[in-house]
Amino acid sequence: MDTKDFWKLIDDARALVTDPADTEAVADRISDLLAQRPAHDIVAAQQLLWGLMAASYRAPLWAAAYTINGGCSDDGFDYFRGWLIGQGREVFERVVADPDTLAELPAVKEVAADYEELECERMLGVAWAAYRRVTGEELPPGSFTVEFPALDPEWDFDFDDEEEMAGRLPKLDALYG
């Protein structure tokens, strides 16, 4: 399995659920689809997932998640990125490149009115669940690695600073401000 296969898996899962906005259902379907593959593909999927988690470990995205979710802990940022991965490659790449584009997504607009959170912890365990279903065991120790990059020091400010956030994420500020 490679990155292209992984994104296709997500697209396939999104196409198979009744409501692709239900990222929990998408995650369950991903696990189902992974469980139809050999164990080595499932292990590869786990590494690819965490590669995407590392690629999206960016302070501007964290600030956007903080705005959308009304705060965002370390775990909360993981779960937010799980949600983001579940949106598919096009959305993921666009948002990682410019987190303020989150304000353009229907899912973000929908939750903004009710101040609901966007997160999907279940996405982080799709390979674990599939591997356990296929082998009856946990993923092998050391089967994946993740190295998060250092966060951009230019974004080392209090995300509760409304003026700073408005200047850096104007579209999200207009939606949530």
pLDDT at position 143 is 87
Q: Are 100 and 64 in contact (CB under 8 A)?
A: yes
How confident is the model at residue 113, as a pLDDT?
A: 86
Sign of the four-CA dihedral 71, 73, 75, 77: positive
Q: What is the pLDDT of residues 90-116, one digit of tens each?
A: 999 999 999 999 999 999 999 998 889
pTM for this entry: 0.96
Show the low-confidence residues of the chain (pLDDT under 70): none
Contact 56, 161 (CB under 8 A): no
